[in-house]
Structure 1
């Protein structure tokens, strides 16, 4: 589906099949932008630098493979996210793995398993929202900006306070406010980053042969890399999974708010995320590091390594990258606040008061994240995001046949022109 559905995914994201009368809160593009903003973050900058410095150039190949395979799992989880969502009379949408694990498995006479998996997922999602979706982002964005603007050094707490205020202004307004902001920030920051990365690659185009030889050799030659082929495969997959979150289930929460009558339509839109996040953005970061030779530098990791790779071509670019890193981190935080809030609502009730308690806690963790060391934050983030995938993937396997049936029905409707399609302006 990640190959044959790609063209239709682009049509849906462009709004060709948008139905303003369909139930939901946001358009296909806004749902995509919100979910992409939750994934295109510091994992693409700091995480990729970690992958290629630990696993060598060959880790790039396995990141691409992981992103490509992840397109299919995103399709399944986001289709189920829309299918089992719950829309309240006030228009608020509650969806995601909590719903499809509980009610999808209940439909298959697995009520007990469904409740356990859904509850476990919700607890882990709240933890991940405070870790990878919040503290890690605040931590790395502060480190990057403090490296370029010395006035910030030693002021992590106050940086966290200002960031928390900015995040709070957006998340108080709910998914519509989040979608409006991400719909503007994501295309802008991704475009700046992609153009800059391509410029660095073109300036070092003489290294193209040796760079791709290093990637292929590093991916398949155990003697050529630290830790052997299993080590580099694991590092590549680990960083790609942290970056695109395919199989983790988080994106299904954002996509469940979309305006549509056909759950598979959002599955198609969602499969674009790992492609944008990993196959395009992560790969460009890795190529920048490899083309400039920075992947072989020891004693440096995270966003600083990527920053130095860009600086080797554009002396002024680290300042631009510092601002881009902050925007990446900011957009990831506001998206993850929504994911965590929906998991919190599943655990503690759907009242607006319960939502406000979560939002206040989330903002406190922004300040904490900007004030602690990276090691503890990265370990906690990895653990929570990895753990979320276990209950989610168990459910995806059990319900994959159901998604296939829904997909076949959707494709029949698409062939017979039964889907809503915008008429071109006269």
Structure 2
């Protein structure tokens, strides 16, 4: 059996071939280039700029009010919903603050050069408006069940408005497609990638751990959390996200301040690389694409995933939750991702071509301060991965539930348990 699986014609080889072909097709569609710019990246950044201008720079005007909402100033326990504004924000952040902030940023800097950091930051700034828009819509079109639980997200704000305009088949089709892709993402980037990169970081400081044992332990812990539903997920992320963010930011600040004299040079390198990039990143366009792509992958603005978490917030004002959501790219990209980028640029490890793994590149940067510092990074990576996995498991579950609702409605012609 083992010999059969190891051969190209075995089960594993066949499965790998199928997935490789599927991924290749999706890559050709999603990253179809227009004048050298991937269509999906162009779509996300143009959309975020449009929303920023259309909403009158809500990403600046709404910051203070957003903080007041998160602090509970406008909370009403009688409003429909399952979690508080803060818990919804923490749950969504736990899904975005993951290995993209560590491994992804490192690869972006190494591939596109330090200049990619500036475009990543601008992508995060404009992405705040996209988050505001999609999460406001998720609140507006959510469904509250008879038991008080909530079903919401892009599946609902895609289907219902189009149905109201007489385009029900189109709305249902697009919503169903999103749900299918969301389920795929929950397995791929939301879980497999996180577990893989977490193992790479942990095994680097604690060698000898079998990968399958690590995977089983992580799966068991994640399973225990998600079985408890959104309330348990929100409770865990509400404590875990602030802790891991503070630990990681302080660690990065330690490295940055330890190389205090290099800070001006690093900032100059970032701006110089952004507007006069070296050929390493494929010229100006290559640097721009790397930065914007990393921003989109990191904060998921415009992707729709966070809207699923924010739809469950306890409020009767959709725009309030939209304002809360715009804090995500600020925390995720503008603060945490920039911390990683500064550490890598200041220490100069991005110039080491022998390291082609994002986590290991960041680990090398941490090791420049002290030999034991990579241990802190390994802990941060494990926490980041764990938090992302539990949130994306919830997203996948909600998407699966939506598909089941479509099936049930078509089978029985009703969805009476919604009100």
In the superposition, the TM-score normalised over structure 1's length comes to 0.80
Aligned 1:116-265 pairs, distance under 5 A: 116-152=173-209, 155-223=210-278, 225-265=280-320
2:387 to 331, 341, 344: 331
1:51 to 87, 103, 108: 108
Aligned 1:4-153 pairs, distance under 5 A: 4-152=61-209
- Judge conservation of contact 1:85–1:99 (CA < 8 Å) in 2: yes
- Judge conservation of contact 2:94–2:237 (CA < 8 Å) in 1: yes
CA deviation digits over 1:106-158, x for unaligned, max 9? 22333232112101100100000000100000000011100110131xx1111
Deviation at 1:12, TM superposition (A): 0.7
Quote the residue 1:282 is aligned against.
Answer: 337
- Judge conservation of contact 2:96–2:299 (CA < 8 Å) in 1: yes
Quote the residue 1:271 is aligned against.
Answer: 326
Deviation at 1:223, TM superposition (A): 4.2
Deviation at 1:229, TM superposition (A): 0.7
CA deviation digits over 1:148-193, x for unaligned, max 9? 10131xx111111011110000000111000000000000000000
CA–CA distance in structure 2, aligned partners of residues 160 and 85 of structure 1: 35
- Judge conservation of contact 1:46–1:302 (CA < 8 Å) in 2: yes
Deviation at 1:321, TM superposition (A): 1.1
Deviation at 1:277, TM superposition (A): 0.2
Cα distance change, pair 114–350 in 1 and its aligned pair in 2 (3 A) = closer
Deviation at 1:224, TM superposition (A): 6.0
Question: Can you give the 5+ residue segments of structure 2 that lack an aligned partner in the other structure?
Answer: 1-57, 408-419
- Judge conservation of contact 1:44–1:281 (CA < 8 Å) in 2: yes
CA–CA distance in structure 1, aligned partners of residues 278 and 386 of structure 2: 41
Deviation at 1:215, TM superposition (A): 0.4
SS in 2 for 1:2: helix
CA–CA distance in structure 2, aligned partners of residues 343 and 317 of structure 1: 39
- Judge conservation of contact 2:137–2:157 (CA < 8 Å) in 1: yes
RMSD: 1.3
Deviation at 1:312, TM superposition (A): 0.2
CA–CA distance in structure 1, aligned partners of residues 224 and 81 of structure 2: 23
- Judge conservation of contact 2:115–2:277 (CA < 8 Å) in 1: no
- Judge conservation of contact 2:111–2:280 (CA < 8 Å) in 1: no
Quote the residue 2:400 is aligned against.
Answer: 344
SS in 2 for 1:284: helix
CA–CA distance in structure 2, aligned partners of residues 350 and 146 of structure 1: 43
CA–CA distance in structure 2, aligned partners of residues 17 and 30 of structure 1: 14
In the superposition, the TM-score normalised over structure 2's length comes to 0.82
CA–CA distance in structure 2, aligned partners of residues 318 and 20 of structure 1: 43
Question: Can you give the 5+ residue segments of structure 1 that lack an aligned partner in the other structure?
Answer: 352-426
CA–CA distance in structure 2, aligned partners of residues 263 and 50 of structure 1: 37
CA deviation digits over 1:178-213, x for unaligned, max 9? 000000000000000001111111111111221111
CA–CA distance in structure 2, aligned partners of residues 325 and 306 of structure 1: 10
CA deviation digits over 1:5-58, x for unaligned, max 9? 011011111111111111000000000000000000100000000100101100
- Judge conservation of contact 1:218–1:224 (CA < 8 Å) in 2: no
CA–CA distance in structure 2, aligned partners of residues 135 and 224 of structure 1: 33
CA–CA distance in structure 2, aligned partners of residues 273 and 255 of structure 1: 11
Cα distance change, pair 138–52 in 1 and its aligned pair in 2 (3 A) = same
Deviation at 1:348, TM superposition (A): 1.9
CA–CA distance in structure 1, aligned partners of residues 235 and 398 of structure 2: 19
